[in-house]
Each structure stands twice: as C-alpha cells, then as structure tokens.
Amino acid sequence: MSASALVAGIGYTLVKTALVNRTERAAVSDVTNTLEQISVPIGALWPGELPPTGEDLSAVHRSLRAPGREVILTYQEAIYSAEHMTVGDVPYELEVRARHRIVSQRAVIDGRTWLVIGTQVQRLARNGAILPTGMTVYVFVSLADEQRILADLREGLAKAGAITLIVGLTGALLSARRVLLPVRRLGLAARALGEGRLDTRLPVHGRDELARLTATFNESASALEKSVTELRSLEAISRRFVADVSHELRTPLAAMTAVTDMLHEEAERLPPEPAKAVRLVLGEIERLRVLVEHLIEASRLDAGTATLRVERVNIADALADCLEVRGWADQVRVNVSEGLAFTLDPRRFDVIVANLVGNALRHGAPPVLLSARGTPNGLEVKVRDHGKGISVEDLPHVFDRFFKAEAGRARSEGSGLGLPIARANAQLHGGTISVRRQDPGTLFTVWLPNA
C-alpha cells in the first residue's frame, strides 16, 4: 500500500513536470518565432528607416497575444499593458535576467499560476553585430488548463489509490485473519486450559505450521489431562485412606481415652519410674487424640463436605467459653466489648481461636493477648504472644500442613495441622488469617466478613 502511494506520487510528479515543461517550451518557442518575424524598424535605425509608429507597436503587441495570454510591451517611453497585468506583476529576478536573454519563470498572481516569459528584443545590425533595441516584452501564459489537467490526474490517482488501498486492506485483513484467528484460538484454548478446563481441544485444519502447532497443543492438553486425572485419583485415594484410617482409629482411641482418667489417678500412687511411663503414655494418647481429630477435620475440608451452621453469637461469651473449657482463662488477657455480636459458625469459630491461642501458649511467651472488635466490613480477632517470634524464613510456611517452625521441637508439641485448619475454617466463612512479626512476638489476625 505504501509502495502504491509512492508510485502514484512519483508518477504524478513526473507527469506534472513533463506537462509544465512542454507548455513552457511551446510558449517560449511561439514567443521567439513571433519576435523573429517583427519587421518594424526599432532600435538604432538604418539610413532611410522611419521610427515605428504607435500603430506599428500596437501591431507587435497584438501579434504576441493569444487565448490565455497577456502581454506587456515597453519601448522607450511607450508602455502597452496587458488587460489585467502591470509591470509591477513581473518578478524582479525575471526582469533582471530578461535584459540579456529570453527567460521564463512560473509565478502565482492573484491566486492563479502563470508562466511569465520575458526578453529584451534585439536586432542584427548590418555589420553582423547583435544590438539591443530598447523594446522589452513580458508574456504571461496562463497555466489554468494544465492545473485542471493535474487536478483531474490527482483526483484519478486518489480514487485509484483508495481502491488499491481498500483492495489491499481487504486482502491483508483476510490474510491476517487466516493467520491470526488460529493463533487467537490457541491463546483462548491455553487460557481455558490454565483455568482447569482440561478437555479443551482445537480442530486441526491443513498441514501448515499452525496446523502442526495446534496438533501439538492437543497432544499436550491430552497428556496434561491424563496426568492431572491420575494425580487427582491418587489424591482422592490418599484422602480417603487418611479419612478411613482416622475413623478406624477413633474406636480404639475412644477406649484408650476412657481409661486415661483412671491411669492418671493410679500414676499418683505408683513409684516414680512407672508413674513417669504412665504420664508419657497419657501424653501420647492425648496427642494421638488431637492428631486424629485434626486429620478427620482436614479430610472433611478437603472433601468439601464441611458446612457452616451460622447463628448470632456474643463474641465475648464465645471467647470466654473457648478459654475456660481448655483451662486457659488465667493465661490469656482478653480485650473485647461485652455487647459485640456477630453472625458465624460458633463451633468453627471456637476451632479458629483455640488453635491460634494454643499455638501462642505453646510456642510463644506471656503475656498472650486476645482481642476482638467489629469493623464496618466484618469481625477482626487478634492473637499476640511476646515470645521470640517466627523467623522470616519460616513465616511464609506457617499455614502449610505438618510444618513446624522449629525442626527440633518436641514431638508432643502439636500436630502441624492446627494453623492450616484454622485458616481453612476462616476461609469457609469467606475470611482469612494473616501473620506478621512483632517486637517481640508474633501477631495473628483473623478477619471474617459480614454474613
């Protein structure tokens, strides 16, 4: 398209130059021939010659005129002006050069383009010398016809260019659509694949590079779908296994837990070594009970069977009950308004608070602070301890399952599932839990949106 415009521009310029040059040559040739035919004695008169009369000069003036021309003739004191032109319309540069030879120059006068031809008429003396006669002629040749021809040419070239442009754009768009449409489809299919629609496939047309690329995409999508399906199957089997084992453990664990109180009382009457062994067994039973409960809860959350049973709850009472049941009431400072009420699942809220406070008591240092306040957008609960805090390296992983910030921590100090379960319960409410370091200690913030 650019090449077409360039060719049209060059063609127009060549035609314009040729047309104007031809007109100029024809006009100059005509003026020269007319001046060569002057028989009126002018300039230095020969013996026997009479000076030209006004009628003679008018005849010379008329001989130079033609349609589309205007002539100014000066001889000595006489000036024969054109109909619309005066000597003042003659370009100064042309006036100077016309004293020595016939010259021409294009000029715009009153908005119209003219070819101005100027010369001083000379005469051949009897001795062969060329002498000036004092007669100066300026011929104004109108270029209006040439301008019209060029305007028509411009219009024709513009129309041809517009048609060429339309045809070229149509072809380019069709070609681009043929190339870009499959690419766009590939992009949309890749986005759908990334969003989890693993059954996305594209039709293969032709045998070009795009067809091979589409076929490769389909093969990759099929392989990915197969791998993901296998992984999901294995994950489902693993979750079912964990859930089944956890449920199977509940029966013997319930029986073991039933005798823990009796064993605890018996430990007081046993010698030191057996008593120590009994207390160790009781601690491991309690840890096993917590672990099984956490595994069962995690399996419910993974399976998507966990549901909310929301009701209007007094937050101060809910926090007090959570601490009192676990014997933490004297170890935690609580700051909450007595009248603060919020709609939530009280059992899952209890799980969230218990896990965060228990984590602070086990791994932090007193004082442990628990606060709650209502915001325009929901409920905010904060739990802070004043221990050494979680390291910067461990901070991004505190909600990972079975992650323990201290690799050497005693086995009885948590299952590594408490914080992930707490966050899952918060997310079930549509909220979240964040953690950040304090100086000293660690701050966990729970945010639950309005129901």
Tell me the C-alpha distance between 249 and 244, whole Å. 9
Class for the domain spanning 307-449: alpha beta
Q: What would the pLDDT profile of 324-354 be if each residue is shown by its tens digit?
A: 988 999 999 999 988 899 999 998 899 899 9
Q: For residue 355, what are its two tokens?
A: 């896990």
Q: Are 296 and 305 in contact (CB under 8 A)?
A: no
The stretches in the chain having pLDDT less than 50 are 407-412
- At the second CATH level, the architecture of 228-306 is Orthogonal Bundle (1.10)
Q: Is 60 exposed, middle or buried (0-12, 13-18, 19+ CB in 10 A)?
A: buried
Q: Are 203 and 231 in contact (CB under 8 A)?
A: no
pLDDT score, position 362: 86
Give backbone dihedrals phi and psi of 72, rounded to 5 degrees, phi first. Answer: -120, 125
Tell me the C-alpha distance between 379 and 343, whole Å. 9
pLDDT score, position 317: 92
- For the chain, the maximum distance between any two Cα atoms, rounded to a whole number of angstroms, is 171
pLDDT score, position 372: 93
Bridge partners (DSSP) listed for residue 115: 106, 141
Treating both helix axes as pointing N-terminal to C-terminal, what angle do 346-363 and 315-325 enclose, rounded to 10 degrees?
50
User: Which residue reads 């409920």 in tokens?
Assistant: 379
pLDDT score, position 276: 76
Closest CA to 430 of 337, 318, 314, 345: 345
Tell me the C-alpha distance between 8 and 1, whole Å. 11
pLDDT score, position 409: 44
Closest CA to 430 of 443, 417, 447: 447
Q: Are 387 and 440 in contact (CB under 8 A)?
A: yes
Give backbone dihedrals phi and psi of 304, rounded to 5 degrees, phi first. Answer: 80, 15
pLDDT score, position 294: 65
In Å, how far are 28, 199, 326, 366 from 282, measured between CA atoms? 126, 52, 17, 26
In Å, how far are 319, 358, 423 from 316, measured between CA atoms? 5, 18, 21
In 3-state terms the chain splits into helix, strand, coil percentages (rounded to 5) of 55, 20, 30
In Å, how far are 211, 223, 227, 233 from 220, measured between CA atoms? 14, 5, 10, 20
**Domain extents for the chain?**
38-142, 228-306, 307-449
Treating both helix axes as pointing N-terminal to C-terminal, what angle do 2-36 and 54-64 enclose, rounded to 10 degrees?
150
Kindly report the pTM of this predicted structure: 0.46
DSSP string for residues in 387-418: SS---TTTGGGTTSTT--S-TTS-TTS--S-H
Tell me the C-alpha distance between 61 and 121, whole Å. 13
pLDDT score, position 407: 47
Helix (H, G, I), strand (E, B) or coil at 181: helix
Q: Are 292 and 249 in contact (CB under 8 A)?
A: yes
DSSP letter assigned to residue 43: S
The answer to whether the peptide bond before residue 440 is cis (omega within 30 degrees of 0) is yes
Class for the domain spanning 38-142: alpha beta
Q: Are 355 and 415 in contact (CB under 8 A)?
A: no
